[in-house]
């Protein structure tokens, strides 16, 4: 179990490094000089991107600590493995689809294809909210079967891990909502919309991989 958790921690750290590398190589993150057209500038000139990377580092540390606590707690005798609701598989598929659609929308924004943005953003929102709603239904199923948060430590960790992940997704939905409102209302802030979509896409990919790690851990223990 310790080796498995160490491997999962390496995955999260590697993921963060990969996101940073990919972001450095993406052309849209460029600086603009006042009175001149956009040119390729240093990544550090994008405060929003720096803020996102900082957030991802904090979130990675948060989940790494929780996974460590999970490993230590399950070694005690009162740990009773939880049978995860089958609905989690459908929820996972929805989150994967949301990430794919967001990537498609990001590509449309970068390639200046505004006609695809509204449909892409709305579909991403529907799939993401479907995932969160599905998680809530899964919690209800567990409660109806008597698997309460206070039943045993395994239950408590399940509710906490899935709940913390859902909260991070809902936080990202705020930025998604702002970008979607701009697109639907016909805002001319093309640069701002593009950057918001790019940031959200990175965030969605990150939370998808975090969920896959968490889901794999829950299934295996």
Domain boundaries, the chain: 2-220
Is there a contact between 39 and 27 (Cβ–Cβ < 8 Å)? no
Handedness of CA 114, 120, 126, 128 (dihedral sign): negative
Q: What CATH fold (topology level) applies to the domain 2-220?
A: 1.20.120
Neighbouring residues of 42: CB distance < 8 A, sequence distance ≥ 6? 31
| Report field, pTM of the whole predicted structure over 0.75 | yes
Residue 32: pLDDT over 60: no
Q: What is the pLDDT of residue 5?
A: 53
Residue 7: pLDDT over 60: no
Q: What is the pLDDT of residue 42?
A: 33
pLDDT tens track for 75-94: 887 788 888 889 999 999 99
pLDDT tens track for 193-220: 899 899 999 999 999 999 998 998 888 7
Residue 114: pLDDT over 90: no
Closest CA to 127 of 147, 164, 161, 102: 102
């Amino acid at each position: 179990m310790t080796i498995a958790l160490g491997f999962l921690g390496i995955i999260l750290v590697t993921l963060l490094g990969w996101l940073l590398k990919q972001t450095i190589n993406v052309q849209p993150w460029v600086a603009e000089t006042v009175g001149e057209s956009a040119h390729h500038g240093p990544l550090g000139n994008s405060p929003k991107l720096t803020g996102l990377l900082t957030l991802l580092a904090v979130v990675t540390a948060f989940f790494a600590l929780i996974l460590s606590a999970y490993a230590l707690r399950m070694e005690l005798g009162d740990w009773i493995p939880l049978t995860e609701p089958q609905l989690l598989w459908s929820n996972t598929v929805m989150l994967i689809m949301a990430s794919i659609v967001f990537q498609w929308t990001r590509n449309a924004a970068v390639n200046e294809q505004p006609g695809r943005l509204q449909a892409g953003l709305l579909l991403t929102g529907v799939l993401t909210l479907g995932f969160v709603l599905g998680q809530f239904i899964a919690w209800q199923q567990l409660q109806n079967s008597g698997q309460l948060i206070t039943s045993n430590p395994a239950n408590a960790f399940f509710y906490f891990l899935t709940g913390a992940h859902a909260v991070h997704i809902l936080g990202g939905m705020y930025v998604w909502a702002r970008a979607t409102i701009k697109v639907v209302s016909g805002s001319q802030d093309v640069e701002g919309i593009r950057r918001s979509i790019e940031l959200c896409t990175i965030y969605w990919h990150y939370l998808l991989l975090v969920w896959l790690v968490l889901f794999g851990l829950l299934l295996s223990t």
